[in-house]
């Protein structure tokens, strides 16, 4: 009789081999073949950025394929030199001692003592150092598998076959401009999978959105057919703990289906879609309204009625905006609402809204928060507000029948802008917006969008 321990995915057979469950090696071999890899030529995957989702993504690849060392190498890059503060080090020590598997792993690796010393204040821990042991600063309570960490960006990316962008949108352009210097001698471009959710607004020559995949394309010259976006209704820590989740990988035909198959795991279902830019923008849009949801929850003591009223208004605004951005917006309704729902339930943007409403954070503290990372919804509020304020995008107001900028029909977005960006009102303003007698019925806003030719292809850089 074989024990459960002996039959685990990482157990070793009597012949020294490792069992390949669910066709793992076959999936890897298929991708290697498509990439033109010969025997003995290792497939190199590197994650750029070590936030929650970026770290979990690299850990998923390491967990699934890391035992096939002669065929694949998974690494992650993060900047060196960020120290872990004393309080975090102490909490990390508590997490380690509460998890027997993690404790044993660190003892075997002779790494446990450094956490003892850090707790006592006799040693400084660094973010890249603890990441090697599987601890992401944005998810201390969710230990990952040990990761191969590189702090030299050139070393990390110069020969990578697949680069995973785990950076916030606000950092993507700068880092990939540096990366482009290291790819000048490459004969073939890499594949890039972007996990980043966020947008920038550009007003010239016409108002339009710039997404992380477009930033990468412009910074590096890698063709768009080699750049994909992966997103979906999921929470990073839950995915790593093997709770059921799904995602969509969006991009050109050449790579999205093979990559969807390669990334798919029993608990992590990956679908594929050709509409890259629109899905990427929708991933940023839901973060805008998640911040407001957190505010409403905190200000009303988790009132179910108040939260549902807010949800009705914010979803109607998202549907309205979707009709401006997409020629066939109905195809986005399911993914957008699902992603919004999970973000409102347990996302960092909703948490941020709660902390603002409780007075534990202030907008002037910035949008990079210790233990959470970048709050992408803040910059997205500014970008969407700026774009939808442009008079050249005007739509007819339902009452006055006069042309108005689209933002005038998005009172929640306007209120969030006044709270987070111009900072002219307090978080209480979000409740006042819901109680405003002049606010249109959410149904009216949806009917307006559906009954007019609202689609503005220029917003996503599409030809008219």
With tokens 């081999």, the residue in question is 17
Q: How far is CA 459 from CA 195, 323, 327, 381, in A?
A: 21, 11, 11, 16
Q: What is the 3-state secondary structure (H, E, C) of the chain?
A: CCCCCCCCCCCCCCCCCCCCHHHHHHHHHHHHHHCCCCCCCCEEEEEECCCHHHHHHHHHHHHHHCCCCCCEEEEEECCCCCECCHHHHHHHHHHHHHCHHHHHHHHHCCCHHHHHHHHHCCCCCEHHHHHHCCCCHHHCCCCCCCCEEECCHHHHHCCCCEEEECCCHHHHHHHHHHHHHHCCCCCCCCEEEECCCCCEEECCCCCEEECHHHHHHHHHCCCHHHEEEEECCCCHHHHHCCCCEEEEEECCHHHHHHHHHHHCECCEEEEEECCHHHHHHHHHHHHHHHHHHHHHHHHCCCCHHHHHHHHHHHHHHHHHHHHHHCCCHHHHHHHHHHHHHHHHHHCHHHHHHHHHHHCCCCHHHCCEECCCEECHHHHHHHHHHHHHCCHHHCEECCCCCCEECHHHHCHHHHHHHHHHCCCCCCCCHHHHHHHCCCCCCHHHHHHHHHHCCCCCHHHHCCCC
Cβ atoms of 227 and 194 closer than 8 Å:
yes
Question: Is 286 an active-site residue?
Answer: yes
Q: How far is CA 457 from CA 199, 453, 461, in A?
A: 16, 11, 6
Q: In the chain, what's the furthest Cα-to-Cα distance?
A: 79
* Catalytically annotated residue among 71, 114, 286, 418: 286
C-alpha 87/C-alpha 119 separation (Å) is 8
Cβ atoms of 173 and 215 closer than 8 Å:
yes
C-alpha 432/C-alpha 357 separation (Å) is 14
Per-residue burial over 354-368, b = 16 or more CB atoms within 10 Å of its CB, e = otherwise = bbbbeeebebeeebe
Just list the catalytic residues: 286
């Amino acid at each position: 009789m074989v024990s459960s321990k002996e039959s685990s995915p990482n157990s070793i057979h009597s012949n020294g081999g490792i069992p390949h469950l669910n066709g793992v090696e076959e999936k890897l071999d298929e991708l290697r073949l498509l990439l033109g890899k010969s025997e003995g030529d290792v497939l190199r995957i590197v994650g750029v950025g070590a936030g929650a989702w970026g770290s979990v993504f690299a850990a998923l690849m390491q967990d699934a394929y890391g035992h096939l060392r002669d065929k694949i190498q998974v690494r992650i890059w993060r900047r060196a030199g960020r120290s872990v503060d004393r309080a975090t080090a102490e909490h990390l020590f508590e997490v380690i001692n509460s998890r027997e598997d993690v404790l044993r792993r660190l003892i075997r690796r002779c790494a446990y003592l450094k956490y003892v010393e850090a707790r006592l204040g006799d040693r400084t821990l660094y973010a890249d150092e603890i990441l090697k042991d599987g601890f992401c600063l944005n998810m201390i309570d969710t230990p990952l598998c040990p990761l191969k960490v590189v702090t030299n960006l050139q070393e990390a990316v110069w020969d990578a076959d697949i680069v995973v962008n785990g950076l916030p949108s606000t950092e993507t352009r700068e880092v990939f401009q540096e990366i482009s210097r290291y790819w000048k001698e490459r004969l073939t471009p890499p594949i890039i999978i972007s996990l980043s959710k966020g947008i920038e607004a550009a007003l010239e020559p016409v108002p339009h959105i710039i997404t992380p995949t477009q930033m990468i394309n412009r910074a590096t010259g890698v063709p768009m057919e080699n750049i994909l976006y992966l997103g979906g209704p999921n929470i990073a820590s839950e995915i790593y703990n093997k709770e059921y989740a799904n995602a969509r990988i969006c991009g050109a035909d050449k790579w999205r289906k093979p990559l969807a198959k390669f990334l798919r795991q029993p608990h992590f279902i990956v679908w594929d879609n050709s509409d890259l830019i629109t899905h990427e923008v929708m991933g940023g849009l839901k973060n805008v309204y998640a911040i407001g949801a957190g505010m409403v929850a905190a200000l009303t003591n988790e009132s179910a009625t108040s939260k549902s009223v807010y949800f009705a208004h914010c979803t109607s605004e998202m549907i309205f905006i979707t009709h401006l951005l997409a020629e066939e917006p109905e195809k986005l309704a399911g993914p957008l609402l699902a992603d919004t729902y999970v973000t409102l339930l347990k996302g960092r943007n909703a948490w941020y809204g709660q902390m603002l409403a409780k007075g534990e954070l202030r907008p002037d503290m910035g949008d990079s928060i210790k233990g959470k990372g970048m709050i992408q919804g803040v910059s997205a509020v500014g970008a969407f507000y700026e774009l939808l304020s442009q008079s050249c995008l005007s739509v007819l107001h339902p009452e006055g029948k006069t042309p108005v900028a689209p933002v005038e029909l998005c009172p929640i977005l306007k209120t969030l802008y006044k709270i987070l960006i111009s900072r002219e009102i307090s978080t209480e303003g979000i409740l006042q917006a819901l109680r405003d007698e002049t606010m249109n019925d959410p149904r009216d806003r949806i009917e307006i969008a559906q009954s007019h030719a609202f689609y503005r292809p220029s917003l996503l850089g599409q030809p008219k």
